[in-house]
Structures are given as C-alpha cells and as structure tokens.
Amino acid sequence: MDSIRIAELIGSVTMEEIFGYNNLSDLDWVWINRDIFRDIIMAADKKDELEEAEMDEFLRLISDEDFIELVESELTLKGFIKLQSKRYKQLESEFREFPIETWIFVNRRYLSKLLIKYNEEHYWILQAMSLDLNKYHEEGMKYIYTEYFENNSRILEEIAVTGTYQEEMLKWKLDLTKNVLECSYKGNKISQWSGEEARYKFNESIKQDRG
C-alpha cells in the first residue's frame, strides 16, 4: 500500500474515531505529536490492511508538518485552532510542555476564555505596534492607535496563535524566549520592545501628540 492510500485512510475517518471520544467538540483541546502518529494510522486502518513495514516506511518519509496537515482540516471544521505547544504555554501557564515538537488544537470556545487574560497582559503589544507604524505616517500617534490598534483583540489573537502580525510593510514577531516584540520593515529589523519600554514610550508619545 502506497503513501497516498495511507493518507486517504486517515482522511476517511472522523476525529472522534481517531481520538476515541463521542463528541470531540466537548473537549477544550487535544494534542498531536510524532509519538501518536502510528496510533492515528492504526485507528484509521479499520480493516487491518496495513503491514507494520508499510507504516514504518510511511512514518519514515513523512514530516511532522505534513502529517499534521492530514488531520488539521477536520479539526479546523470542528472549531479547533492549531498552536505550537510553546505558544499554548503562554496562554495556559499550568500546561506541561512535551519533550518533542507538539501541536495543540484548541477549541475556539476555550481559546476565547484564555485570550481574556492574555490580552490584558499583552496589551502593550498594540502600543508598541502603534509606535512603529507611526514612523511611516503623518496623521499622529493618537490617530494611528485609534484607527489601527485600540481594542483590537484580533491582532492579539493572531500574535498569540502564530507569533506574528503584518500591517502594510511592517511585520512583527513576538520572541517568546526574551518576551519582546520585534518589528521589521521590508525584512530589516527596525525595533525591539519589551512591555515596560512600549508602555512608557507610548504614554510619552500620546502626551506629545497634539492631534
């Protein structure tokens, strides 16, 4: 049996059958990493068509990312959002990370709850972004902040989930190791903000803005 057929088998079963739950949407989150790839294949192989050697060869050839893609579409349809485990750790402090690369699929309902606290703690990101974008506009800080960033929970969600956000020619990346926000313009780094630096500079800029 070739690799395409194995991929088709995985796509032919429901996520409930793979994970062993009656209704996956009742869960807050599920995790997937290479340790359970074989279990997923075996759950999909209802007729026991596959030989051990076939599964071994398939797992040897497929990358983690490509395997995740085989289940991602259905999980997305069921309302789950994909995050790397290190990013999920930023949302759920008690989460224990795995020793290997792992993806967490979070129920949209539960993610919304986690983002309430995250947004409160990372509001400075919106202030830092307004400082960066203001360098390329003439309207003034108050206008830039109000028009693009104020109360913009969508931006913070994108940062939480993917770690990046882009506006016009600017791209921001949240460095989890240093907990700083880096900004680049056309691929060249132009700034780096900690929360304390962003809040201070933003407040000073607002005071100086007469717009």
Task: Please check whether residues 19 and 104 belong to one and the same domain.
Answer: yes
pLDDT recorded at residue 178: 92
Looking at the whole model, is its pTM more than 0.85? yes
Q: If 0-12 CB within 10 Å is exposed, 13-18 middle and 19+ buried, where does residue 186 land? A: exposed
| Residue 210 scores a pLDDT above 70 | no
Task: Please check whether residues 75 and 143 belong to one and the same domain.
Answer: no
Task: Please check whether residues 188 and 130 belong to one and the same domain.
Answer: yes
In a domain, 117, yes or no: no
In a domain, 194, yes or no: yes
What total number of domains does the chain contain? 2
In a domain, 75, yes or no: yes
Task: Please check whether residues 84 and 139 belong to one and the same domain.
Answer: no
Task: Please check whether residues 128 and 101 belong to one and the same domain.
Answer: no
Which of 74, 92, 112 is the last residue in one of the domains? 112
pLDDT recorded at residue 209: 77
Task: Please check whether residues 16 and 104 belong to one and the same domain.
Answer: yes
Task: Please check whether residues 107 and 66 belong to one and the same domain.
Answer: yes
Q: What is the pLDDT of residues 171-191, one digit of tens each?
A: 999 999 899 999 999 989 999
In a domain, 164, yes or no: yes
Domain around 202: 122-208
Which of 90, 112, 134 is the last residue in one of the domains? 112
Task: Please check whether residues 86 and 161 belong to one and the same domain.
Answer: no
| Residue 95 scores a pLDDT above 80 | yes
In a domain, 93, yes or no: yes
Q: What is the pLDDT of residues 8-45, one digit of tens each?
A: 999 999 999 999 899 999 999 999 999 999 999 999 99
Task: Please check whether residues 148 and 101 belong to one and the same domain.
Answer: no
pLDDT recorded at residue 4: 85
Q: Encode 198-210: b = buried (16+ Cβ within 10 Å), e = exposed.
A: beeebeebeeeee
Task: Please check whether residues 152 and 105 belong to one and the same domain.
Answer: no
CA distance linking residue 81 with residue 72, whole number of Å? 9
With pLDDT > 70 as the criterion, what percentage of the chain qualifies?
A: 99
Handedness of CA 14, 20, 22, 27 (dihedral sign): negative
End-to-end CA distance of the chain: 68
The overall average pLDDT reported for the chain is 94
Q: Which whole number is the average pLDDT over 87-99? A: 93
Task: Please check whether residues 85 and 138 belong to one and the same domain.
Answer: no
In a domain, 148, yes or no: yes
Task: Please check whether residues 105 and 127 belong to one and the same domain.
Answer: no
Sequence-distant (≥ 6) Cβ neighbours of residue 150 within 8 angstroms: 126
H/E run at residue 182: strand 180-185
Q: Which whole number is the average pLDDT over 111-117? A: 97
pLDDT recorded at residue 138: 85
Band of pLDDT at residue 1, cut at 50, 70 and 90: low
Q: Which whole number is the average pLDDT over 115-122? A: 96
SS3 27: coil
pLDDT recorded at residue 195: 97
CA distance linking residue 122 with residue 179, whole number of Å? 10
Which of 80, 112, 144 is the last residue in one of the domains? 112
